[in-house]
Amino acid sequence: MPLQLITGPANAAKAGVVLDAARNRAAQSPLLVVPTSADVDRYRRELAGGGAVLGVRIERFDGLLRQLQRAAGVSGRTLTELQKERVAAAAIAATTLDRLGGAAQTPGFPVALAAFAEELGEARVEPPRFVAALRQWAAQDPARAGFAEELGALVLAYRREQDRTGRRDRPRNVTAALDALREDPSRWGGTPVFLYGFDDLSPLQRDVIDTLANAVGTEVMMSLTFEPGRAAFAARATLHQDLLALGATERRLDAVADYYAPDARAALHHLERHLYEPTPERVAPGAAIAALEGGGERAEVELVAAEVAHLIDHDGYAPEEIAVVHRGLDAAAPLIDLVFRAYDVPTAVRRTIKVGHTALGRGLVAMIRCALLDASADDLLAWLRTPGVLTTPAFADRLESRARREGARTAAEARRLWEQERWSLDTLDHLSNAYEKGGVRALAERVAAETALLLAAPYRRQAHVFDAEGELDARVAAQTRRALRELSQLPPELQPDPAALVNTINNLEVYVGAQTTAGRVVVTKPQSLRARRVRALFVLGCNEGVFPAPARPEPFLGDDERRAINAASGLRLRLHEDQLNIERLFFYAAISRPTERLALSWHAADDEGAPAVRSLLIDDVADLLDDPDWARRPRRRELGAAGWPAAQAPTEREAARFAAAAAPPAEPPLIGPLRSTAALGPLRERHTWSASQLEVWTSCPVKWFVERHLRPEVLVPDPEPMIRGELAHRVLEHALSSLAQDGGLAPERLPEARALVRAALDEHADDYRISPNPERLRSALRRLEVDLVRYLEFAAHSGSEFTPERFEVQFGNAEDPHPPLELDGGALRLAGRIDRVDTDGREAIVYDYKGKTATEQAKWLEKGKLQIGLYMMALKHVLGLEPVGGFYQPLGGAEARPRGALLRDADPGLVSFNNDRLDEHELDELLRACAAAARTAVDEIRDGALVPKPDQCAYTGGCAHPTICRCVTA
């Protein structure tokens, strides 16, 4: 029975002819073949509505191929996409490559090789025949020989590796089934086949139609959107001729305008009939054809989303009556999904996401890396933070804090830290042992078990129905188990090593988003909508480089090479048609789908501001309209626009955003004073304060509030200058106390002092790790040693008559050996720790070690430096020593002289700055001012007076905690 070909333009009632024929053959259980899964659901409903509930089976083309294999008795599993990639990788590894060596190292090369081999299989070109054709082609130009031999060797190797698996790819299985049916047509059983919605066929699909119609003799009817001579169908002229060459009888249908809404019929029907055709006729676009322009990509999507929301909320459109198409949907889908959700527009947008970009997938990948590879501490943390691994997620936070502080960079080091405090992570050992003993097959079983546990763990003891996040996790789990199962079914030599296995799982793709259902706006690609109509259609991304999409170069053989090979050898390698003609066909198919409204949108720039060019397809539409301003003055939304005016806003939130953006900028509120009784009560009841706390408050109350009162835990090690200072204190205490036992520091004892510094550094370096990085630690210790030795050399020649006698003198706290400094009759008590006290037996000088800089006494009160003044008072009232001076002593930097205050006649030989020597009354006044500043600080603390001082908050100036303080600095 000959092939029946139903042709005509879009909206020519071709679907009615095909569906009626299928209904008429319902007693023979015919197959209706449609392009997409959404089309399967739609035509099942349509046939059911017409009474054909039973009888007609609806499938995609893959379903027809499976039916062919069952009917022909072709057994054996088909290679999956993942298995084909491993087969291709093995073929590449087994082939010596020179000309293709560089390309073979790229990630996409195995996929391209598998696709090329399938293309040859669809065309029934066996590898030996292809190799012979390449050699005939190369004989015409010796420069081609190297490339031809390598490509031929790859194709042969791919077939050889495929045969080792005991499986075949889809073209080989299908062609085997077709050959079996040609030999015994009765196996098919006479089932009629009807195809609707296809505007292209691969060589394999054409072979299927030829076999069924001409060899088996079953009834085959196919619709094809085609009109002879029209530019819109130039890309399908070859297909039309090929089908006629198969003996097809053609029935041509004329365009019908009845599908369009009355108000839109003139414009939309004119557009469908004359797109790309020269015609003097022009029509008014009216409300039927709209042009939209966004200043950027997001602005374009927001403009379309607002239009869709208005149609639903104000014009009575049902969401399923609206469609949005984008030629580059794979890249644009996340943005479209985000914006439409923000505008409360229900959508059905299907997109893919890599397994490694999901919470569960990232955890599974990290788990396998930790078990099989030299993973990092971050990998172990990623696994532990996977939902279902820990019932107390804070445990992972504590591990991260400790790992960062102690410099644990590998998963093994972080695991040791974990197991010192928690339980053993035996799961990793189980995975490692499974892989070592049983390879990928055993690993697949173990990972499948762990995946099931992780998936179920958050829902234990719950009658839970998956939400969107849970559904995604279920898909990730299923995809991961499926991939491991597929890989384990390959021969061991084709299975991936651990690194390749982890990379494969990480790059697996799963679908996210809702499928096409009632109550949702469908978002899809233009070519996926060709078998259905919608009431309103929005075509997004009408920009050059997007729609029309640029041509993709062929990885191995371009059309020129294919023509030359065909001419030299007699093969019929498929030529890839002109890309622009294909894009014009897709655009035609899209604009013919709406029955009432069509909106074409583009963006003038990308979201970074780079200019974008409007598609020439827009000009093809504009040429048919009588409005010269249609494309020049579209409805527009500016780049970076925030929200919508209240009258246009799709949601209250968007109206609020617009109002906020239009309002004058408001100064961010500064942090206010403490008012909570619970917070102020303990502060008011406290009587003992450390000098360092008061110094921090005086420099910046907000800094004190965060660092001394809130004391948030941090994930990073203490700042290197802080740890360096603590270690410097300890080393100097060790060295100077040892020297003080036998006469103190003198120039002649410098070699001994240097040795003491080195010994102290060796002894205490592990207690005060300046950096978790070993290389940086060595460098920091060496710098510190140089700075301390240089300081001791300065101190040995400083000319001081005072000897260091007391170190790390602690007073004021309950556990300290000395009582507090009491002011105002004991109403205020001060505590502290004095780094060093030098004495001559009766008088004393206080030293407080600093990094590279020290503050002169003239600026103590201005910069809130109170410690030295308070410590000098503590010498007299707590230790019974007479204070004659106090200094901030820099241990690094170019200037080694201390800065502070010294009684003018005290220790006359001490090298110091002249303006740091004060008369007795000046020194007394300075100490009284420091005491008064301490009292003021305590009063302010008790009042909760948090006043930002951003200019002197951080070590280098500026605010140290801007997100809490919310101050504005210059």
Whole-angstrom Cα distance, residue 417 to residue 733? 32
Whole-angstrom Cα distance, residue 262 to residue 250? 32
**What is the dihedral sign for C-alpha 625, 626, 631, 635?**
negative
CA-only gyration radius of the chain, Å:
40
Task: Label residue 640 left, alpha or beta by phi (over 0 means left) and psi (-120 to 50 means alpha).
Answer: left
Give me the residues paired with residue 769 across strands.
none
pLDDT attached to residue 849: 92
Contact 483, 477 (CB under 8 A): no
Contact 197, 553 (CB under 8 A): no
Place of tokens 């505590």: 831
pLDDT attached to residue 4: 95
pLDDT digits (tens, 9 = 90+) for 101-115: 999 999 899 999 999
Alpha carbon 895 to chain centroid distance?
49
pLDDT attached to residue 441: 87
Q: How many Cβ atoms from other residues are within 10 Å of residue 262's Cβ?
A: 7
Question: What tokens were used for 771?
Answer: 């950096």
Give me the residues paired with residue 5 across strands.
222, 250
Whole-angstrom Cα distance, residue 651 to residue 345? 10
pLDDT attached to residue 371: 94
Whole-angstrom Cα distance, residue 540 to residue 324? 7
DSSP assignment, residue 625? Answer: B
Whole-angstrom Cα distance, residue 391 to residue 186? 62
What are φ and ψ of residue 224, in 5° steps? -145, 125
List C-alpha distances in Å: 516 to 202, 420, 467: 26, 52, 18
Contact 844, 837 (CB under 8 A): yes
Question: What tokens were used for 409?
Answer: 């960079």
Place of tokens 């698996």: 165
Instruction: Name every residue whose Cβ is closer than 8 Å to that of residue 838 and which is 6 or more positions away in sequence.
Output: 800, 802, 803, 804, 805, 844, 845, 847
Residues in the chain, overall count: 970
Contact 596, 535 (CB under 8 A): yes
3-8 and 249-252 beta bridge pairing? parallel
Strands (E), 434-516: 509-512
CA atoms within 13 A on the CB side of 308: 34
Q: Classify residue 711 by burial, with Cβ atoms within 10 Å: 0-12, 13-18, 19+.
A: exposed
Angle in degrees, CA 67, 73, 76, rounded to 5: 90
Alpha carbon 84 to chain centroid distance?
28
Whole-angstrom Cα distance, residue 12 to residue 252? 9
pTM check: above 0.75: yes
DSSP assignment, residue 606? Answer: -
Contact 153, 95 (CB under 8 A): yes
Whole-angstrom Cα distance, residue 530 to residue 553? 26
DSSP assignment, residue 554? Answer: P
DSSP H or E segment with residue 447? helix 426-456
Whole-angstrom Cα distance, residue 696 to residue 707? 9
Q: How far from each other are the two terminal CA atoms of the chain, in whole angstroms?
A: 86
Contact 332, 325 (CB under 8 A): no
Task: Give the max Cα distance, the chain.
Answer: 123
Amino acid at position 157, single letter = A
| Of residues 927, 849, 917, 851, the one with CA closest to residue 889 | 849
pLDDT attached to residue 885: 95
Give me the residues paired with residue 352 across strands.
511
What are φ and ψ of residue 71, in 5° steps? -65, -35
pLDDT attached to residue 349: 87
List C-alpha distances in Å: 237 to 227, 464, 578, 729, 807: 9, 54, 12, 87, 96
Amino acid at position 406, single letter = E
Question: What tokens were used for 590?
Answer: 């899209």
Alpha carbon 785 to chain centroid distance?
44
**What is the dihedral sign for C-alpha 246, 251, 256, 259?**
negative
Whole-angstrom Cα distance, residue 560 to residue 573? 11
| Of residues 863, 955, 951, the one with CA closest to residue 900 | 863
- Under-70 pLDDT residues of the chain: 1, 49-54, 459-468, 515-516, 577, 668, 715-717, 955-956, 967-970
Contact 60, 40 (CB under 8 A): yes
Burial 831-841 (b: 16+ CB within 10 A, else e): bbbbbbbbbbe
Burial 639-660 (b: 16+ CB within 10 A, else e): bebebbeeeebbbeebbebbee
pLDDT attached to residue 1: 57
pLDDT attached to residue 719: 75
Place of tokens 């029975």: 1
Whole-angstrom Cα distance, residue 734 to residue 746? 16
Contact 535, 331 (CB under 8 A): no
Question: What tokens were used for 81?
Answer: 């996409």
pLDDT attached to residue 970: 41
DSSP H or E segment with residue 223? strand 220-225
Instruction: Name every residue whose Cβ is closer than 8 Å to that of residue 814 and which is 6 or more positions away in sequence.
Output: none
Place of tokens 């296995």: 501
| Of residues 622, 623, 644, the one with CA closest to residue 631 | 622
What are φ and ψ of residue 129, in 5° steps? -65, -35
pLDDT attached to residue 504: 92
**What is the dihedral sign for C-alpha 380, 381, 382, 386?**
positive
